[in-house]
Chain A
Amino acid sequence: MTARAVIDVSELPSATMDHRSTIWWGNLMLLCIETMMFALLVGAYFYIRQNFYEWPPPKVHDPPAIYHAVPLLTVPTINLVLLLMSCIPMAWVDRACLKHNQMSVTLGLVVVILCGAAVIIFRFLEFHSLLFKWNENAYASAVWTILGMHLLHLFTGTLEFALLLSWLLLKDMDVKHARDIRVTATYWYWIAGVWLVLYAIVYLSPRFL
């Protein structure tokens, strides 16, 4: 045995709850991939638009014919507001994680999951606001895909929270799980944020652009 110069790391913490942890970065990379996917989808939407005189195209396949078939606003707007509002309990959960308040985290997660479920249900109604079925024309294919892809993320986020909630109900919240919840919260903010942009593109851009 010989003495060596060492750096002793045994006193360092075994987990952190923020951008210092690996999973935070893993999640960020996932969000880059998904953002890229949506950006390309939006690119495709506007590319297809060049092929139409009237955007959205007139609905003539079955009566009543609609000349300017812009998607309806009511349900989508309610849903947008609901999704954005869900960020408030989300932020509350986020802060409760930092304070290691398991009770608040559990309650907050229940609220977020309920919001998520409501948004998912409204999303299914929202498809009717598009006036077309996905296989009627290229415009319809693009908007259905945008809504559908986003719906997939809503499912993922909500189910992830359900899983984390069941962990909290059965076990104790340690630093690692508090961090997991915070990382999933980042994912949820992204889901809401990206929808703000996509909502504007799907529902507002045909009206004003």
Chain B
Amino acid sequence: MSALVLEQKELNEPLERVALERVWKRPPGFIGWITTTHHKDIAIRYIVTAFIFFALAGILAFFMRLQLSFPENNILGPDRYNQFFTVHGMTMMFLFAVPVMEALGLYFVPLMIGTRNVAFPRMNAFGYYTYLAGGILLYVGLFLNIGPDTGWFSYVPLSGPQFSPGKRVDFWAQMITLTEIAALVGAVEIIVTVFKMRAPGMSLNRLPIFVWAQLITAFMIIFAMPAIMLGSGMLAMDRLTHVSTHFFNPAEGGDALLYQHIFWFFGHPEVYIIFIPATGFVSTIIPVFARRKIFGYTALVLSLISIGFIGFGLWVHHMFATPVPELGQSFFTAASMMIAIPSGIQIFCWIATLWGGKPQMQLPLLFVLGFIALFVLGGLTGVILASVSLDLQVHDTFFVVAHFHYVLIGGAVFPLFAAIYYWFPKWTGRLLDKSLGLWHFWLFFIGFNLTFFPMHQLGLKGMPRRIYTYAYDSGWANLNLLATTGAAIMGISIVLFLINVWRSRHSGVNAGPNPWHSPTLEWATESPPPDYNFVYLPTVQSREPLWDEVSPPVVCGLSNRKRESLITTLMEAAPDHRYELPEDSIWPVILALVVGGGISWAIFDPWAVPISALLTFIVLCFWFWRGNEPASLTHHVQSSEDLQLLKSEANKI
């Protein structure tokens, strides 16, 4: 094809920059803020919202620790305690961990693969607002004192119509539906963007490991999340008067264990949906600070893929205390142990990278090392829990609480903080303060271990999880007090972190475009990146494009009169066709309002479903119709005078 010929050309970069600036600029004021479809705007909103929910769930957790700090304490009382631990778990899983991991992907995947936006920008915005609606719904419930109180997995029969009358559990079910819509939307965005919009030359075997991790996670979301949507939908139908199905009602042939199977078919992959992106951060950060290429790229990618598959074969190990056939139990024990192999391969690759490099002790690397230490501990208790006999001993005790906090905080929150220290300069152009960061790290590390290590022992001593208090002679008091002290220290460290972010975002040290001398494409543009990401889309010739001696050619010939990007082929990333991206749009917000409103209303009335479905169709008609007017006809008319104006603006630069 003639288009693919490499040529030498004179490029007028200032002119191109001004033209792109005009096309990609969002309208001013509130209208622009609410209608934006830039992936970076949306992703930052996701991240900020997720951290607000993280703080809220942290406050709930701290209240739980206060309640448990002394025997026969009565700060919260049983009912509020139930609501708090349920909402804490739901928030951390559905409103913090999954969205924040996906959000980093939505921000960095387009930058790392060298394109201008995600594949479906309006749908991306819709995903964010749906997620927000789900979060608001949950907290409205909590503040009205009708928050869900049946635990984050909301087992039947406890959560069924007979034992949980009222609307509490329905808040659980509908919040799940909304946030899972958002997660699925994000997953489709990431998959299609990675498949079709990579920079020319970025064949799959040159994909940064961060992007691989996001891609595999997105596929896991596609195959795992439908389960929880189905399960929560069935539960909601079972509960709703006038519908009253019997999926989980044993009196009419339904089955409580069916619920557990459906829930954990989602619930176990969920752990990897949170953990795999975190390993993507780690694999990005380690080579940068070790100053060498990652050791074992292929092994790492294959490990991620096999975790993606094996992660679907583990769910029954959450159900060892139920009458599952013994042969089945053995299978799931074997699979649970097998997943330690790819996880181990990753850890060895990281250690080998550090071993062979010259590690520079910067904050991101410090958090990564904290991750490796804690995750190994959490992994060890994981191997213990994979064994049926041991699992039965500690089932539903604080040992399990300790285990999954080591895995989730150690395995996901530590890498997340590493990622924030690493990419903060990309978002703001400034570095986070180092000494405050060190305080944050050490207080968080010490506080975390003080909180959760004693829980192993509490569990072995027989303290069940989810009890709101315990007796004086139980012998659990000292360790509980220790855990509460640790929680306070963790709380202080998070406050320090938030202060650091708040102060550094305007007054931190100037970082320049590439403060860590990183090899990936997100550092090939300014910080923060312009709305169009790159003036000329890059091409790549290796896995570490910014560490190459020669700079590869750039792409030219894309329109600067409308929002246009380049579509490349699936495997080889050869240029294929041009792709017009949509303008800013109000319809995603309106659609999210309709969907969020309809699903919330369905808590009370089944008619909400057909009515909001009809409204959804009407909104989608507007979305389709308005979005199909060619952009060049609406407001980017470029006459010859216009061109003159552009040139004079460019000359000023």
Contact = CB atoms under 8 A, between A and B. Distances in A.
A145 B10 CA distance: 62
Contacts of A41: 230
Nearest to A14: B578
B247 A138 contact: yes
A30 B258 contact: no
Nearest to A30: B188
Contact of A26 (B6, B192, B620): B192
A17 B344 CA distance: 44
B554 A20 contact: no
B192 A25 contact: yes
Contacts of A32: 222-223
Contacts of A2: 10-11
Nearest to A139: B253
Interface stretch (B237-245, B297-305, B512-520): B237-245
B556 A7 contact: yes
A6 to B, nearest CB: 5
A155 to B, nearest CB: 8
B553 A40 contact: no
B253 A44 contact: no
B175 interface: no
Nearest to B187: A29
B624 interface: yes
Nearest to A25: B192
A48 interface: yes
B621 A163 contact: yes
Given A25-B195, A137-B253, A48 B258 contact: yes
Given A16-B577, A138-B252, A167-B628, A4 B9 contact: yes
Contacts of B13: 1
A159 B624 CA distance: 13
A8 B258 contact: no
B307 interface: no
A10 B557 contact: yes
Contacts of A36: 222-223, 226-227
Interface string A120-137: 000000000000001111
Interface string B248-265: 011011110010011001
Contacts of B8: 3-6
A25 B197 CA distance: 12
A69 to B, nearest CB: 13
Contacts, number: 198
A130 B393 CA distance: 46
B245 A9 contact: no
Contact of A20 (B188, B223, B576, B580): B576
A135 B6 contact: no
Interface in A23-38: 23, 25-26, 29-30, 32-34, 36-37
A139 B249 CA distance: 11
Contacts of B9: 3-4, 6, 8
A90 B239 CA distance: 40
A13 interface: yes
B579 A7 contact: no
Nearest to B15: A1
Interface string B609-622: 00001000100110
Given A9-B578, A22-B579, A138 B249 contact: yes
Nearest to A19: B570
Interface in A46-88: 47-48, 50-52, 57
A201 to B, nearest CB: 16
Contacts of A6: 6-9, 11, 536, 553-557
A179 to B, nearest CB: 11
B226 A145 contact: no
Interface string A146-169: 000000100100010001000100
B644 to A, nearest CB: 18
Contacts of A135: 243-246
A107 interface: no
A134 B120 CA distance: 38
A115 interface: no
A29 B243 CA distance: 31
Nearest to B189: A26
A27 B119 CA distance: 12
Interface string B206-230: 0000000000000000110111011
A4 B11 contact: yes
A113 to B, nearest CB: 14
A37 to B, nearest CB: 4
A142 interface: yes
Interface of B: 1-13, 119-120, 184, 187-188, 191-192, 195-197, 200, 222-223, 225-227, 229-230, 234, 237, 243-247, 249-250, 252-255, 258, 261-262, 265, 536, 539, 552-558, 566-567, 569, 575-580, 613, 617, 620-621, 624-625, 628
Which 3 pairs across A and B sit closest by C-beta, in order of nearness? A10-B557, A141-B245, A5-B553
12 contacts: A2-B10, A3-B9, A4-B9, A6-B6, A7-B3, A16-B567, A40-B230, A48-B253, A140-B246, A141-B254, A142-B247, A163-B620
Given A14-B578, A25-B119, 14 more contacts: A1-B10, A4-B553, A7-B554, A7-B555, A11-B2, A12-B576, A12-B577, A14-B580, A21-B567, A22-B579, A34-B226, A51-B253, A135-B245, A167-B628
Interface of A: 1-16, 20-23, 25-26, 29-30, 32-34, 36-37, 40-41, 44, 47-48, 50-52, 57, 134-142, 144-145, 152, 155, 159, 163, 167, 176-177
